[in-house]
Amino acid sequence: MNLSSDPLLSCFVPVIDAETELLILGSLPGEASLKRGQYYGHPRNQFWRLTGDILGCNLVDLPYEARLMTLLKHHIGLWDVIATAKRQGSLDGAIREATPNPLVSLIERLPQLKLIAFNGQKAASLGQKTLQKANMAALPCSVLPSSSPAHAIAYERKKEVWLRAGAFVFDRGKQKGSI
């Protein structure tokens, strides 16, 4: 298999506004997401279910644009740490020749930002490296278990960690500061 012939994949535009308090950063959209032109477009990806649990509403059954608007209404933004990369399939472990997104300039446009939550280890390792280089490592960050169907831990365990991130930002009765 000739890996050099893999197409260069690109992320989507950020879904943010000046009121964004929680920024969820993935690595790079998978094949199903790219094909559909939607963040977390794989039907078994648990992202929309998990964020719905944070918000206390069902995002899964909403049309895609309504999902995005609901996130923004609740001050949640989305983006990816990788701008472009080559990859066979959808697994983060297959990502090659990654070019990072300009996270620092994006974060500087978010005056209300309280927490950066990385959706999975790959997003966290690349994103934290970018933030450290820019002396922004002191920003509150959380590494969430990946919402990918390939990340095989029980949904309830994922949900527990995702809810803690939501509680940190939205102060939903949990102790502030414990992510």
**DSSP per residue over 9-28, as a string?**
EE-PPPB--TT--EEEEES-
Between CA 55 and CA 119 the distance in angstroms is 17
User: What are 23's two structure tokens?
Assistant: 């920024």
155-170 and 47-55 helices, crossing angle to 10° = 40
Please pick, among 45, 58, 101, 119, the residue that the annotation labels catalytic. Answer: 45
Between CA 29 and CA 37 the distance in angstroms is 9
Please say if 45 is a catalytic residue.
yes
- Which residue has 């933030």 as its token pair? 131
List CB contacts of 142: < 8 A, sequence separation 6 or more: 115, 116, 117, 118, 161, 164, 165, 168, 179
User: What are 172's two structure tokens?
Assistant: 């939903």
**Could you give the residue numbers annotated as active site?**
45
